[in-house]
Structures are given as structure tokens and as C-alpha cells.
Homo-oligomer: A and B are copies of this chain.
């Protein structure tokens, strides 16, 4: 299982207009592009992927999960992912996972709680991390990646990561958007799995 956590520091936790994802919805467009990057192949979906969007633009914070194995009604465009996130936010979220549309769930929760629930080694993406091309991805297809939005991660969030088993990885010489990093991570894992 490949799991991606993306933290949306301004992303709203209540239903929002699909016509203003960057503004009123708190850069929800970033999270929608991460869903696309994590789950889509050409004419197929990556079934072995889960995406967790941590929405911190409201109190309490919420987490929306997309499961590649069971997700339905998802198209590659931002508005499609946004529509499923919106539907999830219309649910009465609890402290446990509540199903929304097929393959999409929502809960009330914090980033730290989610790391505890998943309970595995974290790969945290940072500009000056260890080059992913030098990290051996073969031998395991079980990975948990954490990426920030346009604001990166807060010191508190970084400290939560540092309190757990983790490594800090980077995808190349330039600073890139989270969804672009996900594409590069997948390509590295795809190559490792096919021994290319």
C-alpha cells in the first residue's frame, strides 16, 4: 500500500463552491491535484494507493480519505475530486471513518492522530531531502509519504514527524508543487517494481 498524506492548512472543512477552489475553499485546488497525481494512470487507477487530505482551514480539522481500490465517480479534473471532497464534507463527521461516496471517507482528526493510526515509517518530502533516486524502493511496496501544501509544514507538524520513524526525501534540484512531487515518487516506485 502506498499512502500519501497532504496537509491543506487553509482548506475548508465545510461544503464549498466548486467554482472557487483556490479562494473561498482555501487552496482546495492543490489537494484536488494531489488526488489526481496519486491515483490516476492513463485510462486506469492506481488501486494500491490511498490519499489522505488533512483539512485544517476549519475547527475541528477533518481528514478525507480516497481509496484507489474502491473509489468511484472520480475523473481526472480538479472539479471532480472537489465534488467528492465536498460530498464527504456534507457528512456528519465523527472521530471514526464515515463512508461518503464509494472509496471516499471522512473523519474528524488531526495529522498526528492519523500518523498514529497508520503507524508506519514516514517519508517526508522536503526540498533538501535525500534524493529519491538513491533510496532503494525495491523490497517493499509499503510506503507512507507526507507532503505540505503551498505553505509547507508548520514547525509543530515537523516535530510530530520527527517524533516517529521517518526519513526526509527530495525529488530533485528545484522546489515543486506537492502534486508534481507525487508524480515523481510514483515514477521512482514504478521503475523499482519493474526493475528499470
Contacts and interface: CB of A to CB of B under 8 A. Distances in A.
A52 B142 CA distance: 39
Each complex incorporates copies of this chain amounting to: 2
B177 A190 contact: no
Contacts of A37: 180
Contacts of A30: 76
Contacts of A76: 22, 29-30, 33, 177
B184 A172 contact: no
Contacts of A173: 190-191, 193-194, 196
A128 interface: no
Contacts of A77: 21-22, 29, 78
A174 interface: yes
A190 B172 contact: yes
A64 to B, nearest CB: 18
Q: Which 9 pairs from chain A and chain B are nearest by CB? A: A29-B77, A42-B175, A173-B194, A183-B183, A78-B78, A180-B183, A172-B187, A22-B77, A172-B190
Given A171-B187, A172-B196, 5 more contacts: A37-B180, A40-B180, A42-B175, A42-B176, A174-B190
